Amino acid sequence: MHNTLFRTALLAAALGSFSHTASAEGVMVHLFEWKFNDIANECETVLGPKGFGGVQVSPPAEHKQGSQVWWTVYQPVSYKNFNSFGGCEAELRSMIARCNAAGVKVYADAVFNHMASGSGTATGGGSYNSGQYQYPQFGYNDFHHSGDITNYGDSNNVWNGALYGLPDLNTGSSYVQDQIATYMKTLLGWGVAGFRIDAAKHMAPADVKAILDKAGSPRAYLEVIGAGGESPDIQPGRYTYIDTVTEFKYGTDLAANFNGQIKNLKTLGESWGLLPSNKAFVFVDNHDPERAHGGGGMLTFMQGARYDLANTFMLAWPYGWKQVMSAYRFENMGTYETDKGAPGSTPCTDSQWNCEQRRPTIMNMVLFRNRTEGQPVSNWWDNGNNQIAFSRGTRASSPSTTRAARWWPRCRRSRPASTATSWGAMTTAAAVMSPSTAAARPA
């Protein structure tokens, strides 16, 4: 890790007149493990006013109980009951309406590759027994019975096998597809704008598309984690004909460069082997790699100011549909810490919550992104190592550095005349994050 001075433009002055209207979906924030009522408040007081285009919420379906760990919400029991960790159905519907009124679209995490393991009473009062394949809507014949996944080189084993022993729904069944599509249409009718499709890699692309088609072809982004040595049929590129796909390689590439030399980011995009920009859903990290799941290798809140700077770059750089992560602290990568659920306190009221979306470094760059959407990168400058600057068309410019240096005046003097106004505004708006100021703020 470098002994670094992090410097980035907060753009507060330069962005004072920026429009909050973003093209397409705009920047999304994942409010991981937030309650629906708290999400609604955040939409009205922060996300809407600051120009965020969307919010991803935890799976709004009845699921296995156990708030002491976060992953129980990813073990559904029923698609007819909407009482979950996030809140009851009334709170869910109120949140959707309030966020929409604030100009923030709601995207629901959707889990339909598998159902909950074990047996008992779920969050909505429904009973289930995975050993007997009994759920409120499904029985034995609605599941695959191919054992656990043992070979990621075999796509059929991945699509039909049980992920971590979780009962694998037969998503090729018309009945199963209809049940899931009805669930999605209900949420769409309440005002949800689209869905994150969890574990899409573990379902055949044709099955995923059939379900989405039956639901009316809503906007979706599919979780597909690419990995070398696995079947070509389960790689991200095989799912892009359906809709946008998560580009995990983007996050690991960012981490490698912010831990190395950021000068190389000049060409970040498809030439790096990434998905086409209009098909890529990108992030510095998300809830899985943050906890070293799904391969890890990304920057997280534990890297402090370096993590903030990577988010700043992501929001300034014209590639992909962007998501900012917002979750809560844990202390190490031990199983207990990475499994534990959300704090009991209200989000952003104490240091247990990270609330990255409220950090000026990130929050103001959302407005930068909105204002510069569709503008090309120009006037790239770097010092051959860890200082870079560039402009987006003639509207705005972004300097970044991961080493201490008085480089900004020199860079400013070399600007083309066409960008004088934006560079001048940036100079007056620039803020410095030194080791002392970084240490004084939540990492």
The single-letter code of the amino acid at 230 is E
Backbone φ, ψ for residue 189 (5° rounding)? -65, -25
Q: Is 223 a known active-site residue?
A: yes
The single-letter code of the amino acid at 334 is G
Catalytic residue among 198, 207, 308, 382: 198
* 202 known member of a binding site: yes
Neighbours of 86 (CB within 10 A): 26
Q: Which two tokens stand for residue 27?
A: 């920047």
Q: Is 198 a known active-site residue?
A: yes
Cα separation, 251 vs 275, whole angstroms: 13
Cα separation, 386 vs 400, whole angstroms: 8
* 63 known member of a binding site: no
* 196 known member of a binding site: yes
Length of the chain: 443
Smallest CA-to-CA distance from 161 within 116, 202, 208 is with 202
Catalytic residue among 62, 207, 223, 356: 223
* 392 known member of a binding site: no
Catalytic residues: 198, 223
- Residues of each annotated binding site: 114, 196, 201-202, 228, 287
- Residues of each annotated binding site for substrate: 114, 196, 201-202, 228, 287
